[in-house]
Amino acid sequence: MNDNLTFVNPEGYLPPKGYSNGALVSGPTLFVAGQVGWNAQCEFETDDLAEQFAQALDNVLAVVRAAGGGPTDLAKMTVYVTDLDAYRGSLKAIGQAWRARLGKHFPAMALLGVAGLVEKRAKVEIEAVAVLRGATDPA
């Protein structure tokens, strides 16, 4: 639980599935650059979209942890995928990867289908905003 982060969903709206409609934040804010599904040595270990999603999410969380935060500090995420049909077909595996890393924490989110990403082998890229609970000095 992060006291610097409150999720907002308008009254009367159907509850969103897997995300929140808004995030009200206060405190140190970390902007995480787009992370693709490769390992720490910038090598892709798979071409499977769900496995790349899991690795990209791990990479986002590694940046958040390096700044002194954790999974529940994520306020907003934007996910870019190169194949929307493959994404839709991988929802079960993606959901499992999500729950293993974030449990039932659902930040404000957007998902976009794109023609391609800078890294040719990348099938997914995730950028994020985290609101940290206190001042950090990762240096």
Question: How many domains in the chain?
Answer: 1
pLDDT per position as a tens digit, 86-117: 999 999 999 999 999 999 999 999 999 999 99
Model pTM? 0.86
Domain membership of residue 67 (yes or no) is yes
Which residues of the chain register pLDDT less than 50? 135-139
Report whether 69 contacts 63 (CB < 8 A). no
Q: What is the pLDDT of residue 128?
A: 97
Question: For residue 38, what is the domain's CATH number?
Answer: 3.30.1330.40
Is 138 domain-assigned? no
Q: Is residue 136 part of a domain?
A: no
pLDDT at 137: 45
Provide the pLDDT for residue 7: 86
Backbone angle region of 18, left / alpha / beta, with phi > 0 → left and psi within -120 to 50 → alpha: left
Distance CA 2, CA 17 (A): 21
CA distance 42 to 82: 19
